[in-house]
């Protein structure tokens, strides 16, 4: 379950970071990109430490 959330957040981050290059009509995400990657990193670290 946790890995599913991590993968979804990572895909959203990749779309936010590089989506503008794929299509000029892709919405700009601004700071949301950074928030998503921080959440992904925290979830992965917690999972590796066995806290979740």
pLDDT digits (tens, 9 = 90+) for 3-35: 888 788 788 778 777 777 777 777 766 677 777
Rounded to whole angstroms, how far apart are CA atoms 27 and 1? 28
CB 13 within 8 A of CB 37: yes
| pLDDT tier, 48 (very low <50, low <70, confident <90, very high otherwise) | confident
Q: What's the N-to-C CA distance of the chain in angstroms? A: 11
- Identify the pLDDT of residue 52: 61
């Amino acid at each position: 379950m946790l890995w599913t959330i991590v993968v979804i957040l990572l895909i959203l981050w990749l779309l936010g970071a590089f989506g503008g290059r794929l299509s000029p009509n892709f919405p700009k995400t601004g700071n949301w990109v950074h928030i998503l990657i921080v959440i992904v990193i925290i979830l992965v670290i917690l999972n590796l430490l066995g806290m979740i």
